[in-house]
């Protein structure tokens, strides 16, 4: 169905293909890749990384939780590579919260330590691990591209980047999204793009204007995947998917 609509790939959330993603084997991941390939698609990458198993956190003061989360992220880098994916999008807002009595600075320091650790594993698997800025209504940690880029500069790994989620950017950023692309795309900091409206529906189902965004991506010669990531499917999943790609392809044709 996705291929018939014109999509080229699928971006997987690990918990949607397994209730225990920590137990997904390389062989299973290669099978996922083959299933997609048989349908004329690729698995582009992974997102929503830490929903399952429960109890993960990149900001926790608990050493066991921290280690478990780092080990799981390393596992996901391996699984992403086996799937044929090239990137992982680290959103997972609930798993980067600030605990009672914890300072923002401490939580951010622990998150930065996590990203430094996972960058090493991403390099080993030749995948790009992307820090996703999310709006403040979802998490108090890393809300803007500038905040994400400050972490990138501290760690300085070519396998650790940020990405653009237009829904969160539309809520959290003071600049226009097109100007953000002009600022951060030439530096190589943005490695992936997800399109969705701030109302959490698909592109073209809200007030956000996507023509300037796509024009900026084209002007900056972005060659990566553009993923559709609505959270509210109106009127249903297949129709939302069809509308989104039709809307975006329509804009691209005018450009």
List the domains of the chain with CATH numbers.
2-191 (3.20.20.150)
Residue 175 token pair: 């600049």
Residue 7 to residue 241: CA distance in whole angstroms: 9
Sign of CA dihedral 119, 54, 24, 1: negative
126-147 b/e with 16+ CB inside 10 Å = b?
Answer: ebbbbbbbbbeebbbbbbbbbe
Rg (CA), the chain: 18
How far, in whole angstroms, is CA 25 from its chain's centroid?
22
Q: Write out the chain's pLDDT in tens, 255 residues.
A: 999 999 999 999 999 999 999 999 999 999 999 999 999 999 999 999 999 999 999 999 999 999 999 999 999 999 999 999 999 999 999 999 999 999 999 999 999 999 999 999 999 999 999 999 999 999 999 999 999 999 999 999 999 999 999 999 999 999 999 999 999 999 999 999 999 999 999 999 999 999 999 999 999 999 999 999 999 999 999 999 999 999 999 999 999
Q: Does the global pTM surpass 0.95?
A: yes
CB atoms within 10 A of CB 51: 16
Length of the chain: 255
pLDDT at position 40, please?
96
Helix (H, G, I), strand (E, B) or coil at 160: strand
Helix (H, G, I), strand (E, B) or coil at 108: helix
pLDDT at position 214, please?
98
């Amino acid at each position: 169905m996705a291929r018939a609509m014109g999509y080229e790939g699928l971006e997987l959330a690990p918990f949607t293909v397994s209730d225990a993603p920590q137990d997904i084997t390389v062989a299973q991941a290669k099978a996922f890749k083959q299933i997609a390939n048989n349908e004329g698609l690729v698995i582009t990458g992974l997102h929503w990384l830490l929903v399952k198993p429960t109890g993960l956190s990149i900001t926790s003061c608990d050493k066991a939780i921290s280690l478990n989360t780092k080990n799981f992220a390393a596992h996901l880098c391996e699984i992403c590579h086996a799937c044929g994916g090239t990137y992982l999008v680290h959103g997972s807002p609930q798993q980067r919260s600030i605990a009672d009595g914890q300072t923002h600075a401490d939580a951010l320091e622990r998150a930065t330590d996590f990203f430094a650790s996972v960058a090493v594993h991403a390099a080993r698997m030749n995948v790009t691990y992307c820090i996703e800025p999310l709006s403040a209504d979802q998490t108090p940690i890393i809300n803007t591209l500038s905040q994400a880029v400050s972490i990138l500069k501290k760690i300085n790994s070519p396998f650790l980047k940020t990405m653009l989620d237009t829904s969160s950017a539309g809520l959290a950023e003071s600049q226009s999204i097109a100007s953000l692309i002009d600022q951060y795309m030439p530096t190589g900091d943005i490695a992936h793009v997800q399109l969705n409206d701030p109302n959490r529906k698909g592109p073209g189902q809200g007030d956000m204007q996507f023509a300037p965004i796509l024009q900026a991506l084209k002007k900056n010669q972005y060659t990566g995947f553009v993923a559709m990531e609505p959270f509210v499917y109106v009127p249903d999943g297949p129709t939302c998917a069809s509308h989104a790609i039709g809307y975006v392809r329509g804009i691209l044709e005018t450009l």
